[in-house]
Amino acid sequence: MKILETIAAFKAERDKIGGSVGFVPTMGYLHDGHLELVRRARAENITVIASIFVNPSQFGAQEDFSSYPRDTERDLAMLEEENVRLVFMPAIEEMYPQGFSTWVEVEKITERLEGESRPGHFRGVATVVAKLFNIVQPDSAYFGQKDAQQLAVICRMVSDLGLNLDIVAVPTVREPDGLAMSSRNIFLTAEERKAALVLWKALCLARGHWEKGQRDVASLRQEMASLIEHEPFANIDYISIADPETLQEIDVIDSPALVSLAVRIGGTRLIDNTMLGV
Ligand code: PAF
């Protein structure tokens, strides 16, 4: 496995690779969710390339860029174990050199949910992902369904800009009790870790009611909210039941629906989602 820190060095190695390339972009602090992306990429391609870059432009001024968990040595050992061929690990100045002034803005679907709670977040994500795609030149790129809106934004960008790659959505990997794996779970205290399960419980509650025939979104949302409000560590940021492609809120579930939520558990903001009707 080769670790490349500059675009020039990376491109020199990339040029030597023939056959299909699967790409897994990450911000590091890897967990089984990331490894699932790598394994899927390996199953479907001859070569797997990963990147590790904590992208400052997708964090707001008050967000956790500086405290975002990092453990590069461990990440690299995990990627090596999974037979990743190249790891692109640029410094901030390599990705955003002096004078950098070109940004990718995906409109409409970025206006709500994560986009509303985290202004500028998707501008940072779309820009860095577009730049990584240009550098890595993958045939396919792998993203987790846990970040459902990110996935929708990237699919929109790829389609709108006619980028020549496939985006592969990989199901969320969960802890045995149901908590979605996330690099930010490390911030939870033991008590908060227990409380964090309320996200998964709320999604299961919605699914349970839907399976029994409930189609009214306001009632489902209300049920979810009252479950979460009973958890003292939890503070709801949003609960959404929306069209999975446009992310517009719906009133009645009569076609596939994305149920997503963002909840603060103590100081840690967690997101999760499930699809109904697929
Ligand atoms: O999902 C992430 O880890 C990041 O948003 C990504 C896609 C690597 C871009 O920085």
Q: d(Cα 274, Cα 57) in Å, to the nearest integer? A: 28
Q: d(Cα 178, Cα 132) in Å, to the nearest integer? A: 32
Yes or no: say if 150 and 128 are a contact pair by the CB < 8 Å rule. Answer: no
For residue 277, tell me if it sits in a domain: no
Residues with CB under 6 A from ligand 1: 25-27, 55, 58, 125, 128-129, 147, 150
Structure tokens at 111: 């206006």
Same domain, 33 and 109: yes
* Counts for the chain of helices (H) and strands (E), in that order: 10, 9
Yes or no: say if 244 and 261 are a contact pair by the CB < 8 Å rule. Answer: no
**What residue numbers bound the domain in which 163 lies?**
2-170
Over the chain (278 residues), the average pLDDT of each successive run of 10 is 98 98 98 98 98 98 94 98 98 98 97 96 98 99 98 97 98 98 97 98 98 98 98 98 95 98 97 96
Same domain, 156 and 268: no
Q: d(Cα 18, Cα 46) in Å, to the nearest integer? A: 8
pTM of the prediction? Answer: 0.96
The end-to-end CA distance of the chain, in Å, is 39
CA-nearest residue, atom 6 of ligand 1: 26
Yes or no: say if 194 and 187 are a contact pair by the CB < 8 Å rule. Answer: no
Q: What is the pLDDT of residue 269?
A: 97
Ligand 1 pocket: which of 34, 55, 132 to mutate (most atoms <8 Å of CB)?
A: 55
Last residue of a domain, one of 141, 170, 199: 170
Q: Which H or E element spans position 262?
A: strand 257-265
Q: What is the pLDDT of residue 131?
A: 99
Same domain, 149 and 217: no
Residue 139 buriedness (CB in 10 A; 0-12 / 13-18 / 19+): middle
Cα dist from 218 to 204, 205, 206, 254, whole Å: 16, 14, 11, 14
CA-nearest residue, atom 2 of ligand 1: 26
- Counted domains in the chain: 2
Torsion of CA 56, 59, 60, 66, to 10 degrees: -70
Same domain, 109 and 195: no
Q: Is 209 a catalytic residue?
A: no
Distance 251 CA to ligand 1 centre (A): 31
Q: Kindly report the CATH number assigned to the domain that includes residue 35.
A: 3.40.50.620
Last residue of a domain, one of 148, 170, 192: 170
For residue 261, tell me if it sits in a domain: yes
Q: What is the pLDDT of residue 278?
A: 84
Among candidate residues 31, 34, 209, 230, the one labeled active-site is 34
Distance 51 CA to ligand 1 centre (A): 10
Last residue of a domain, one of 109, 143, 170: 170
Distance 215 CA to ligand 1 centre (A): 33
CA-nearest residue, atom 5 of ligand 1: 125
For residue 49, tell me if it sits in a domain: yes
Which residues lie below 8 Å from residue 230, measured CB to CB, with a gap of 6+?
Answer: none
Q: Which residues of 72-90 are buried (b: 16+ CB within 10 A; e: fewer)?
A: eeebbebbeebebbbbbbb
Same domain, 11 and 115: yes
CA-nearest residue, atom 8 of ligand 1: 26
Distance 229 CA to ligand 1 centre (A): 30
Distance 25 CA to ligand 1 centre (A): 6
Same domain, 140 and 189: no
What is residue 134's DSSP assignment? H
